[in-house]
Amino acid sequence: MRQAVFLIQTNDRIGLLAEISNFFYSRNCNILQCRQYTDIRENKYFMRVAVDLNAAMTCRELESEFEALAAELKLTTYQVFHSGVRQNMAVMVSKTSHCLYDLLVHAEEGDLDCRIPLIISNHPDLEPVADRFRVPFFCLPIVNGDKAAQEARILELLEHHRIDLVVMARYMQILSDDFISRYPQRIINIHHAFLPAFQGGNPYERAWERGVKMIGATAHYATAELDEGPIIEQDVERITHEKDPDDLKQIGKDIERRVLTRAVRAHLEHRVICSGRRTIVFSR
């Protein structure tokens, strides 16, 4: 079954749902799922439409006809994704393997619809993990503090492998603004705290010192401001006074892995739209 997903973002006005659903109906495309959200405060309209393509029409034809509709309706922006086109995901790691494993296992079990053509790290430690899943591993340390050179090499690899999504699975370096600007809303980072609490380093240690009763993790799109990007997914777990920072780290691993995997899944399934610092995450 050929399917396509349309992600639409525009100013709200009456009739959008009718005109867009008509468009597909008149072309005999069955709407499989349609989700809308109106942000009344900012008068914005967001929409995700999944359609079943009828046999008589090519993707390209549908897209070009939709382009005409978009112009007519003055849609601010939209994206179209076709089923059958698997996305390429690069994973960046440093030394801890828990998030990487969770991504690899979910991908292998068919719960993340993507290819993983490469894993990139600034340390050699996780090469054996990559080997197990037969994923090429590139160890690219920062040599003599020349981060620009390292990033250039990474960007080259990403381009070469036609990467659609970069996942920072506990990659302990801060990417440069330039790097991030090459992949807008296509780099997902996991922060090991419930943002905006404990931005920056050592969140588990600081959570222990503050005496919080729950700890959490946050997956967000990377932006130029550290830990300030649009949040895709968060989760928490209850802790007691008995847990010391090492316990928090261990408990946190399970939170981090599920939060990151869920965020990646939402992105891969074309369910996320960014609107300023906020994300619209349509449910499956």
C-beta closer to a second copy: residue 73 or 163: 73
- Which stretch in 75-83, 116-124, 170-178, 188-196 sits in contact with a second copy by CB under 8 A? 188-196
Cis bond leading into 230, ω under 30°?
no
What x/- string results for residues 89 through 128 when contact with a second copy is judged by CB under 8 A? Answer: --------xx--xx--x--xx-x-----------------
The two structure tokens encoding residue 94? 């440093």
Sign of the CA dihedral running 185, 190, 196, 201:
negative
- Rounded to 5 degrees, φ, ψ at 148 are -60, -40
Is 131 a known active-site residue?
no
Verify binding: residue 231, a second copy, rule CB under 8 A: yes
The verdict on 230 binding a second copy (CB under 8 A) reads yes
Residues 5-64 that bind a second copy (CB under 8 A): 14-15, 17-19, 21-22, 24-26, 28, 30-34, 36-38, 40-41
Interface with a second copy (CB under 8 A), residue total 66
Active-site entry in 52, 125, 178, 227: 227
Establish if 195 lies at the interface with a second copy (CB under 8 A): yes
Query: Active-site residue numbers?
Result: 227
Residues that bind a second copy (CB under 8 A): 14-15, 17-19, 21-22, 24-26, 28, 30-34, 36-38, 40-41, 97-98, 101-102, 105, 108-109, 111, 132-133, 194-198, 209-214, 216, 230-236, 240-242, 244, 247, 250, 253-254, 258, 277-281, 283-284
